[in-house]
Amino acid sequence: MLPIESQVREQFRLQGGHFLNPAETDAVGKILVTPQRTLNPGIVGKSADYIANLGGISIPAGSRCLLADCAGVGRDHPWSIEKLSPTLAFFVADGVENGANRCEEILKYGGMGHTAGMHTQSREAAIRYGQQMPAARVIINSPTTHGAIGFSTDLPPSMTLGCGSWGGNVTSDNVSPIHLMDIKRVAFETKPVSKAANVIAQSTAKAPKREQIAAIVDKFFSQKLAEASRMAPPAEKESGPAESESPVKTIIHELRPQSLTENGVKHDPVDFVSETDVRAAIDKGVKIYITAKTILTPSARDLGEEKDIFARV
């Protein structure tokens, strides 16, 4: 497969795109985000010329979009955030797999659940890409803006796009009038209750006894305790838990999120939190310790406050 980077750059230029040099990229990057590394609301919906002037640079007359070569994703790469303006980060990847991995990285940094897009002549590549992306809408061979809202695809026409569980939404659908309807259902019995009760009774009779359940639980926690002992530092292994302390109690205590001062343990606050960090904390059942100076991406703040993940110092 021939590299297409030069062709893509040329097409952008023909359509009014202007590629910034490194110095210009840094200048505009500083006004794309606030000191807290969140999107600068002063650039939202503004023209390329307005944003260039704000960044103190000159661009050719008629430029419709500013593009900058971007080397990475995250807090140190302001061009990698969602900018809601005619400013685009330009990434170059070696092959479809690396390109898909970069797209997944961008989505996880601040756009999970919304939209991803791909241009390809391979149906198989499109399917693999769609399976990998944490997005509710994967648009193939069409502008994502128009495809996601149903203008150029068969998706339901909508300007409100649910992001599903990826984005903490109740639905991943294109929200339409059907979602605003209250539907009444009259349901007839299809499985007699008496038969269902007999099945439940039979299952209960075969259920393990209380002593068996207790033995299974004890075995589980004993294994966990052994694993924790193997992973502990040498000094901790030597001291070990008190003889009178229950292994079950010890495991539960180790798994329970601790406060900043519990048992003298100090948790250092982090200085930056992304949506990926919040989701990892949710999966592990732990808190993220922050201060008033901690930088939170908008999606991280919304999800973290919804799930009560943050512990503020």
pLDDT score, position 160: 94
pLDDT over 70 (residue 313)? yes
Whole-model pTM above 0.75? no
What secondary structure letter does DSSP report for 39? B
pLDDT over 50 (residue 258)? no
CA torsion angle 11 14 17 18 (round to 10): 110
Rg of the chain over CA atoms, in angstroms? 27
209-213, 256-260, 275-279: the lowest-pLDDT one: 256-260
Give the span between the Cα atoms of 33 and 40, in whole angstroms. 5
pLDDT score, position 232: 61
pLDDT over 60 (residue 253)? no
Residue type, 10: E
CA torsion angle 106 110 112 114 (round to 10): -100
Query: What would the pLDDT profile of 101-144 be if each residue is shown by its tens digit?
Result: 999 999 999 889 999 999 999 999 999 999 999 999 999 999 99
* Reported confidence tier of residue 301, pLDDT bands at 50, 70, 90: confident
pLDDT score, position 243: 46
**Tokens read off for 229:** 């002992």
Q: Say if domain 5-175 classifies as CATH 3.40.309.10.
A: yes
pLDDT score, position 306: 86
* Reported confidence tier of residue 300, pLDDT bands at 50, 70, 90: confident
List 295's β-bridge partners, or say none: 272
**Tokens read off for 73:** 């994703």
pLDDT score, position 244: 47
Query: What would the pLDDT profile of 141-197 be if each residue is shown by its tens digit?
Result: 999 999 999 999 999 999 999 999 999 899 999 999 889 899 999 999 888 887 766
pLDDT score, position 102: 97
pLDDT score, position 239: 47
Query: What would the pLDDT profile of 33-56 be if each residue is shown by its tens digit?
Result: 998 888 999 999 999 999 999 999
**3-class secondary-structure state, position 251:** helix
Domain boundaries along the sequence of the chain: 5-175, 209-251, 257-313
pLDDT score, position 152: 96
Query: What would the pLDDT profile of 207-246 be if each residue is shown by its tens digit?
Result: 666 777 777 877 877 777 777 666 665 554 444 444 444 4
Strand 310-312 and strand 65-69: the pairing is unpaired
Q: Which residue has the higher pLDDT, 20 or 258?
A: 20
